Structure 1
């Protein structure tokens, strides 16, 4: 039976800690299993499960590659849906930097191509930022 709540459906794909960290690394350009594993320090079975979930959900695509003299392996690349998770991870990072700050300061900053600092925010249909205290979640 289909879950009507979009948040619940999203968590079916993204609800595990390692999943967000895999997406974070993919957004940073990581594509190969060994590199995900080395960067994250995650057990191979967990990484395999998370990558498979993300491929099945259309967040990543799997592409074969082969180094000379080696067996065929796969790279993982973000789909447009996966790239849109940049907003979600940016919001999580922004919240964490504010409410769970690292003692040595942020390890990553969000910047535009012209190096301007960025914040994640709600923007209305006219392009104006809406303060959080004016945002409502309304059941339909």
Structure 2
């Protein structure tokens, strides 16, 4: 196992810490999963996640507040106004993080004997996330390092 040299960072400006403050809650990642799967309505989230209305409301408001999702109201004939949610541009950029979590979970946690979530391209072929440099060379973990700037 490779160990990395310890370094001091400004913990208040650490991108991992800042991201964790928004995404570190289990409900937030599951709501994002539902949005990536195409579910956009409050009742779809509530049903698919088995989450209480009050908790769901708080988590959706958090995602709206941080600009990860956009809330729009709609009204069906003879029904009350309801809300629908979509990923913002900022939220859509989480596809790489969600894909990395999904890829790791598929490799290390899920049972392949049951149905599981995966990312495929438009032809149905599986995809894999990789790091590439500016010359489009695929990089391994040994080719990477973290740097403070």
- Regarding TM over 0.5, the answer is yes
**8 Å contact from structure 2 (residues 110, 116) kept in 1:** no
In the alignment, does 2:13 pair up with 1:13? no
Matched residues in 2 for 1:105 and 1:70: separation? 39
In the alignment, does 2:30 pair up with 1:28? no
Superposition pairs of residues 1-140 of structure 1, within 5 angstroms: 3-102=12-111, 104-105=113-114, 107-140=116-149
Question: CA offset at residue 101 of structure 1?
Answer: 2.5
Classify the secondary structure of the residue corresponding to 2:72.
strand
Deviating above 4 A after TM superposition, structure 1's stretches of 4 or more consecutive aligned residues are none
Matched residues in 2 for 1:43 and 1:135: separation? 42
Max radius of gyration: which structure? Answer: 2
- Using CA pairs under 8 Å that are at least 6 residues apart, name the structure with larger relative contact order, 1 or 2: 1
Question: CA offset at residue 83 of structure 1?
Answer: 1.1
Classify the secondary structure of the residue corresponding to 1:62.
strand
| TM-score, length of structure 1 as denominator length | 0.91
Matched residues in 2 for 1:137 and 1:108: separation? 30
The count of corresponding residues between Structure 1 and Structure 2 is: 139
Question: CA offset at residue 126 of structure 1?
Answer: 2.0
Matched residues in 1 for 2:129 and 2:58: separation? 30
Aligned CA RMSD, in angstroms, stands at: 1.6
| TM-score, length of structure 2 as denominator length | 0.86
Unaligned segments of structure 2, at least 5 residues? 1-10
Deviation string 1:93-125 (CA, Å, 9 cap, x unpaired) is 111112223252561221112332211121212
